[in-house]
Amino acid sequence: MARGTARAGEASGASAWALGLLVLLPIPLLGPLAAGGAMIAAYGSLSRQGPVAKANAAAARSWGRLFLIVSTSLLVLQLAIGLIRLTQPDAAASALFLLVMPLVLYVAVCAAHLVVVIVALARIRCGGSVRVPSRRSF
């Protein structure tokens, strides 16, 4: 058996990645916050369920943290640009591009998150483990 594969009956840690699907919540802005937070929080309980579950939960925690930081930063940037635009209504129309860009990036980051979560779940289902780049690997 390959290293990093779950035996029958052993926890795989897929639930930490499945929590990333909370991004699909129909409540605006809450889904991505809930998804990132839940992926981070799931590590605590899954780290005690075996080495495979711990490794997959650690990868989900790492990805969830990155996703939460990036998506929240884009939302804060959108809010800041919107407030600046509100206080200066006579700004040039070309500033509309700046107003929309963080929102477009936010949607792209959420779409990329969905792809990563689905690929990770498929990989775990096939018996593998998930690895995501981290600061330690650079």
Q: What pLDDT digit, counting tens, does each position of 97-137 carry? A: 777 888 899 999 999 999 999 999 999 988 888 887 655 54
Q: Which ranges constitute the DSSP H helices of 3-129?
A: 14-18, 30-41, 43-46, 51-87, 96-125
Mean pLDDT, residues 34-41 taken together: 91
Mean pLDDT of the chain: 82
Least confident residue range of 44-58, 79-93, 104-118: 79-93
Give the span between the Cα atoms of 134 and 39, in whole angstroms.
16
Give the span between the Cα atoms of 78 and 109, in whole angstroms.
14
pLDDT category at 7 given cuts 50, 70, 90 is: low
10 or 51, greater pLDDT: 51
Closest to 46 (Cα-Cα) out of 10, 13, 85: 13
